[in-house]
Structure 1
């Protein structure tokens, strides 16, 4: 599906991402971990083409994404949806209209400016919100929602794009543990039920182990680990984060339960 080859992004003399390579050959939920400044966000932004690579290639089903321009680039960004830490919703706009903005790449500017969306799109938006447990909030302003609710609206907006890949840049970094769990369960369910690839930047090891099939570790712009959650031992984590023997996983935990080194396979509950 997706191959990243020797991808590098330089800002002056500094390499934010340095010769990164990995492949995804089937739909998966993948966590990218590393300390702040490791290059995680820059990597996702290059994949989505929000930031241009300095060198290297991004191949999706044989197409070099780094060469796309104009409408082809916009089409790629529609099929490779981004979810951000700060939600990027329109605060004074109602929830369903925020979700409908996921169709911006398919509708005319006039349609979106005046909120003239087809009934089929409105029904689809409400169905997606219902799937995420948010249908009852459809008429509310986005600013009236909690952080976790706003992030689920942002996920719904991404799903309106009908993407092949979802890129989530620190989707739970600003959320409390309960809302963080709800959002991660939503992303996991989307992967499992829809067969979509989810590539998420995460800042806690327990979250990566619990929800992801595969974990990529970055340090100083380089990929230094690529393996299963079971292979992500405390020793490996110390290397990824450049930490000493005093490194404590518990200090970075956002789980509402006691963290385990390798948690058992989880059966996700239905959304309330």
Structure 2
């Protein structure tokens, strides 16, 4: 499906992504991990063509998407939907209209200017919101929703594009653990039920292990790990993050914990 060969991005003398190479031969959910500045966001932006690559090739079903221009480039950006950390919704617009913005790439200028949508698209938008558990919020302004709900609206907007692949750039970085879990479960269901490839930039190891079929680790712009979650040991994580022996996964965990239950377990262990 997707072949990335020596993909490189330089900003002046700085190299943000250095000869990234990997292949995705079937639909899967992939987590990209690494410290801030490792090149994760730049990698996704090059795949989506939001940022031009300096060197390399990105082949999707044999076609080099880095060479696409004009309409073909816009069509690729519909096939390769992007979800952002900050949601990128129109705050004062109602939720269903935000979702319908996922169809802008295939609508006429006049229809866009007058905010005209086919009835079938409106019904489909509401069905997608229902699938994500937020259909009751369809008439509300986006700004009235919680962060987790807004991110699900952003996912719904991406699904309106009917993409072949979804790229999620730190989709849970600004969410609390409960909402982070809800969003990651939604992305996992989309992968499993629709057969879509999902590539998500993630900060936390527990999230990558729990939801992803494959994990790519980046450090200083280079891919330094590519394997299954079971191979993502603490020692491997130290290498990815450039951390010492004091590295603790718990410090960045998004797992939902019950502090009272954990205290009871520690007390029981102490008695034994």
TM range (shorter): over 0.9
Shift of 1:109: 2.2
CA contact (8 A) 1:48 1:81 kept: yes
Answering whether residue 13 of structure 2 is matched by residue 13 of structure 1, we say yes
Is 1:58–2:58 an aligned residue pair?
yes
Partner of 1:145: 145
- Paired position in structure 2 for 1:136: 136
2:44 is aligned to 44
Partner secondary structure for residue 104 of structure 1: helix
Which secondary structure state, in structure 2, belongs to the residue aligned with residue 43 of structure 1? helix
How far apart are the structure 1 equivalents of 2:52 and 2:44? 11
Q: CA RMSD in A?
A: 0.7
Shift of 1:176: 0.3
Residue of structure 2 equivalent to 1:265:
none
TM-score by length of 1: 0.94
Residue 179 in structure 1 maps to residue 179 in structure 2 = yes
CA positional deviation for 1:108: 1.2
* Structure 2: 5+ residue stretches without partners: 259-272
Matching residue of 1:222:
222
Deviations 1:231-263 (A, max 9, x none): 0000000000000000000000011048xxxxx
**Counterpart in the other structure of 2:240:** 240
The secondary structure found in structure 2 opposite 1:250 is helix
Give the drift of 1:68.
0.2
SS at match of 2:156: helix
Q: Which residue of 1 aligns with 2:94?
A: 94
**Distance in 1, Cα, partners of 2:151 & 2:27:** 22
Determine the structure 1 residue equivalent to 2:22: 22
SS in 2 for 1:16: strand
Distance in 1 (CA, whole Å) between partners of 2:252 and 2:113 is 42
Q: In the aligned structure 1, how far is the partner of 2:92 from the partner of 2:113?
A: 14
Matches within 5 A, 1:179-198: 179-198=179-198
The offset of 1:95, in angstroms, is: 0.2
Distance 1:256 1:113 in 2: 44
Deviation of 1:114 after TM superposition, in Å, equals 1.8
Please give the secondary structure, in 2, of the residue aligned with 1:187: helix
Unaligned runs of 5+ in 1: 259-272
Matches within 5 A, 1:81-120: 81-120=81-120
- The equivalent residue for 1:168 is 168
> If you compute each CA radius of gyration, which structure gives the higher value, 1 or 2?
2
Contact 1:101 1:112 in 2 (8 A): no
Q: Is the 8 A contact 1:74 1:105 kept in 2?
A: yes
- What is the CA distance between 1:175 and its match in structure 2? 0.2
1:86 CA drift (Å): 0.1
Identify the residue that residue 204 of structure 1 maps to in structure 2. 204
Aligned to 2:106, the other structure's residue is in SS state coil
Tell me the distance in 1 between the aligned counterparts of 2:218 and 2:180.
22
- Divergent runs of 4+, >6 A: none
